[in-house]
Structure 1
Amino acid sequence: MIKFIACDMDGTLVDDKKEIDKSVFSTIEYLNEKNVLFCAASGRQYNSLKTIFGEYGKNMVFISENGSYVVYDNKQIYASFMDKELWQYIVLKCTEHGGMGIILCCKDYIYTTDPETVDMLSNPKFGYNVRLVDSLIDIDDDILKVSILDDNPYSGRVKKFLETNFKDKTDIAVSGFNCIDIMKKGVSKGKAVREILENMGIAKDEAAVFGDNFNDLEMFDEVYYSFAMKNAVDEIKERANFVTSHTNNECGVVKEIEKFIEKGVI
Structure 2
Amino acid sequence: MYKLIALDMDGTLLNSDKTISERNKNAIKEARKKGVYVVLASGRPIDGLLNFLEDLDLISDDDYVLSYNGCLVQKSKSRDVISSVSIKGSDLDYLYKLSKEVGVNIHAFSKDRGLITPKNSKYTQYEADQNFITVKEVSHDNLDLNEEIIKIMMIDEPDILDNGIKKLPKELEEKYSIAKSAPFFLEFFNKEANKGLGLELLAKHLGIRKEEIITMGDAMNDYPMISYAGLGIAMGNACDEIKEIANYVTDSNDNDGVAKAIEKFVLND
- TM (norm. structure 1) is 0.88
Amino acid at match of 2:12: T
Structure 1 unmatched ranges of 5 or more: none
1:17 is aligned to: 17
Q: Distance in 2 between the 1:162 and 1:174 partners?
A: 14
The reply on whether 1:106 has 2:110 as its aligned counterpart is yes
Give secondary structure in 1 for the equivalent of 2:154: strand
Work out the percentage of aligned pairs sharing the same amino acid. Answer: 29
Residues 228 and 236, structure 1, Cα contact 8 Å, conserved in 2: yes
**Superposed CA RMSD:** 2.4
The counterpart of 2:176, out of the listed 151, 158, 170, is 170
Deviation at 1:161, TM superposition (A): 3.5
Deviation at 1:120, TM superposition (A): 2.3
1:130 is aligned to: 134
Give secondary structure in 2 for the equivalent of 1:96: helix
1:69 is aligned to: 72
Deviation at 1:58, TM superposition (A): 1.0
Give secondary structure in 2 for the equivalent of 1:232: coil
1:195 is aligned to: 201
- 1:107-159 CA-partner distances (Å, limit 9, x unpaired): 47212321534542343xx2331223142454665210101114338985433
2:152 is aligned to: 146
Q: CA, structure 1 residues 45+162, in 2 after alignment: closer, same or farther (shift >3 Å)?
A: farther
Residues 106 and 153, structure 2, Cα contact 8 Å, conserved in 1: yes
Amino acid at match of 2:100: T
Q: CA, structure 1 residues 26+154, in 2 after alignment: closer, same or farther (shift >3 Å)?
A: farther
The reply on whether 1:217 has 2:223 as its aligned counterpart is yes
Amino acid at match of 2:136: L
Deviation at 1:163, TM superposition (A): 5.2
Q: CA, structure 1 residues 4+163, in 2 after alignment: closer, same or farther (shift >3 Å)?
A: farther
Structure 2 unmatched ranges of 5 or more: none
Q: Distance in 2 between the 1:48 and 1:80 partners?
A: 19
Residues 31 and 267, structure 2, Cα contact 8 Å, conserved in 1: no
Give secondary structure in 2 for the equivalent of 1:26: helix
2:50 is aligned to: 50
Residues 44 and 131, structure 2, Cα contact 8 Å, conserved in 1: no
Segment of structure 1 superposing worse, 222-231 or 31-40: 31-40
Q: Distance in 1 between the 2:157 and 2:124 partners?
A: 17
Amino acid at match of 1:67: G
- TM (norm. structure 2) is 0.87
1:208 is aligned to: 214
Q: CA, structure 1 residues 46+25, in 2 after alignment: closer, same or farther (shift >3 Å)?
A: same
Q: CA, structure 1 residues 142+61, in 2 after alignment: closer, same or farther (shift >3 Å)?
A: same
The counterpart of 2:244, out of the listed 207, 232, 238, is 238
The reply on whether 1:81 has 2:86 as its aligned counterpart is yes
Residues 123 and 156, structure 2, Cα contact 8 Å, conserved in 1: no
Residues 68 and 144, structure 1, Cα contact 8 Å, conserved in 2: yes
